[in-house]
Amino acid sequence: MITIIDSAACCGCTACVNICPVQCIVMRRDREGFDYPLANPDRCIGCGKCESVCPVLEPLEPRRPLAVMGGRSDEFVEESASGGVFPYVARRVIGNGGVVFGAAVEDDMTVAHCEAGSMEEVNRFRGPKYVQSELYAAFEDVHDRLCEGMEVLFSGTPCQVAGLRKYLDKKAHELDLSSLVTVDFACHGVPGPGLWEKYAVSMERAYGSGMTGVKFRDKKRSWFHYDVVYEFAGSADGNSVARDDGACSSSVRRKYVEDPYMALFVQDMTLRPSCYKCPVRCGLSGSDLTLADLWSVRQSMPRLDDDRGASLVLVNTEKGRMLLEGLVLEELVPELAMGNNGGFAESVPVPERRKEFFDSLDSAGDLQSYMSGFVRRGALPKRIARAVRAALVGLKRRIMR
Ligand SMILES: Cc1cc2nc3c(=O)[nH]c(=O)nc-3n(C[C@H](O)[C@H](O)[C@H](O)COP(=O)(O)OP(=O)(O)OC[C@H]3O[C@@H](n4cnc5c(N)ncnc54)[C@H](O)[C@@H]3O)c2cc1C
Ligand code: SF4
Ligand code: SF4
Ligand code: SF4
């Protein structure tokens, strides 16, 4: 029976919850705002399935990518996080009559995995959500669609993909998984849903209006900078816009350093404990494709160096390679392309003040100012500093040309 003694040893993938034959495991939120499985010993029949599907207890085999590529989809780049490779592959699956699973912001501002059968629905998955998404019954739904003979694309964090693969292997080893494709991304970590929900409420209080949308990373000003944009119903500030239906909506744009939620995420303060010891780095997720920001664009692919965004693509399987057909990508030197990008091999270190931050969170009066008090001014985390340094080197070269 699964028992969580060390919170860093559970990434919250829900594989154990979904596999339990007597449904005696539920996800429970801890005081830091992360969800963990809790098994009921009175109902447990001791089958051991929960332990066998856990990607932390029984990891998949490490792999090296077949190819490291760079590029983007000109059609999708604007509204996507990096180069829009995800919607490109999603469209192929939708075109074949398949379905796509991904993370979307719901109407109540929570982030959850949903199923999409059209590109209109897939559009909700585009752009990063810097919150651990709720999976609910997504693994079971993927299983059901595969049983119905449908092609399925599942996109998520590497630990979600690893959990899904382990769950499917155990749940249905006779099931043909050739119609399943999985896409993950270079992931340095996720904040918990509990903190995000509290923060959204504090923003609504601060602006005196209900939040109707959030873009955790808006590229209008620049791809290199992380701007966050909040949408509110009604007139929350001077940026209000009259809508066609006569109502008012307004948006608030902040640079990441000015927004305590984003600043603490970028500074790794609010990540899940497992992210500091990530169990699925180095290809351990079993995904077909791994996507990332091509931070070395100025050195690796100068023709795409226009601040619109570019993707680094790790082709892990032949199935993944087939999905990319028709997209113009270039093979890159792995060390150069991946060198500036955290999230592949190393986990980030636990920030010194993380414990203090979560210990006093519940007693914080005004959340915005409490969180602002933990934002480090000036010093950028190493992985972001590396990317900025690479960008500046490229810029210097261009000036000298
Ligand atoms: C929490 C998080 C941390 C990241 N850390 C890094 C990093 O350290 N280095 C790096 O290079 N790139 C990182 N990325 C990935 C990068 O920002 C892009 O998401 C990725 O390159 C895909 O870009 P795209 O333009 O192809 O996809 P888009 O069209 O923007 O699609 C986004 C995809 O990400 C999925 N997704 C978004 N948010 C979540 C979530 N919360 N949980 C699960 N799936 C989600 C969606 O389902 C969709 O498939 C991170 C992304 C997230 C969400
Ligand atoms: S051992 Fe079996 S019955 Fe018990 S919690 Fe795990 S999966 Fe459920
Ligand atoms: S990592 Fe996944 S399978 Fe393992 S205990 Fe946590 S939720 Fe369960
Ligand atoms: S860093 Fe690792 S454990 Fe954390 S969300 Fe990403 S894949 Fe999961």
Tens digit of each residue's pLDDT (9 = 90 or more) over 27-76: 999 999 999 999 999 999 999 999 999 999 988 888 889 999 999 999 99
Give me the sign of the Cα torsion angle 172, 177, 181, 182.
positive
Q: Is 11 in the pocket of ligand 3 (CB under 6 A)?
A: yes
Q: Is the pLDDT of residue 181 over 80?
A: yes
> Would the CB of 189 count as within 6 Å of ligand 4?
yes
Quickly tell me which residue has 């595969």 as its tokens.
146
Tell me how far the alpha carbon of residue 280 lies from the centroid of ligand 4, in angstroms.
Answer: 7
pTM: predicted TM-score of the whole model, two decimal places: 0.93
Please compute the mean of the pLDDT values over residues 287-306 and round it to a whole number: 92
Span from the CA of 128 to the centroid of ligand 1 (angstroms)? 5
Atom of ligand 1 nearest to the CA of 309: 25
Burial level of 12, CB count in 10 A (0-12/13-18/19+)? Answer: buried
Terminal CA-CA length for the chain: 64
Structure tokens at 88: 């490109």
Q: At what angle do helices 158-171 and 138-147 cross, to 10 degrees?
A: 50
Residue 385 Cβ inside 6 Å of ligand 2? The answer reads: no
Atom of ligand 3 nearest to the CA of 279: 1
pLDDT score recorded for residue 338: 81
Q: Which residue bears the tokens 């636990």? A: 350
- Specify the pLDDT at position 396: 43
For the chain, what is the mean pLDDT? 90
Q: Which protein residue's CA is at the shortest distance from atom 6 of ligand 3?
A: 10
Statement: residue 114 has pLDDT above 80: yes
Of 336, 254, 325, the C-alpha closest to 295 is 336
The encoded tokens of residue 242 equal 């009259």
Distance CA 344, CA 158 (A): 10
- Residue 398 binned pLDDT confidence (cut-offs 50, 70, 90): very low
- State the average pLDDT over residues 15-23: 97
Per-residue pLDDT band for 176 (boundaries 50, 70, 90) equals: confident
Name the residue at shortest CA distance from atom 3 of ligand 1: 187
328 burial (CB, 10 Å; 0-12 / 13-18 / 19+) is exposed
Rounded to an integer, the average pLDDT of 186-192 is 95
User: What percent of the chain is modeled with pLDDT above 90?
Assistant: 74
pLDDT in tens, 150-163: 999 999 999 999 99
Could you tell which of 32, 60, 129, 187 is best to mutate to test the pocket of ligand 4, judged by most ligand atoms within 8 Å of the CB? 187
- Which atom of ligand 3 is the closest one to the Cα of 27? 7
Of the pLDDT bands very low, low, confident and very high (cuts 50, 70, 90), residue 109 is very high
CA of 277 to the centre of ligand 3 (A): 14
Say yes or no to pLDDT of 382 above 70. Answer: no
Of 366, 373, 358, which is closest to residue 32 (Cα–Cα)?
358
All structural domains of the chain with their residue ranges? 1-401
State the amino acid at position 384 in one-letter form. Answer: I
Give 195-213 pLDDT, tens digit per residue: 999 999 999 998 888 999 9
User: Left (φ > 0), alpha (ψ -120 to 50) or beta: where does 61 sit?
Assistant: beta
Neighbour count for residue 203 (Cβ, 10 Å) = 21
**Ligand 4 atom having least distance to the Cα of 13:** 8
Question: Mean of the pLDDT values across residues 333-354?
Answer: 84
Cα three-residue angle 91-92-96, rounded to 5 degrees: 110
Q: What's the pLDDT band for 304 if we cut at 50, 70, 90?
A: very high
User: What is the H or E stretch that residue 178 is in?
Assistant: none
Query: Is residue 149 predicted with pLDDT exceeding 50?
Result: yes
Determine the residue of 2, 26, 132, 190 to mutate for testing ligand 3's pocket, defined as the one with the most ligand atoms within 8 A of the Cβ atom. 2
| pLDDT over 50 (residue 394) | no
- Residue 50 CA to chain centroid, in angstroms? 24
| Distance from C-alpha of 244 to C-alpha of 251, rounded to nearest angstrom | 16
Of 20-24, 129-133, 382-386, the one with minimum mean pLDDT is 382-386
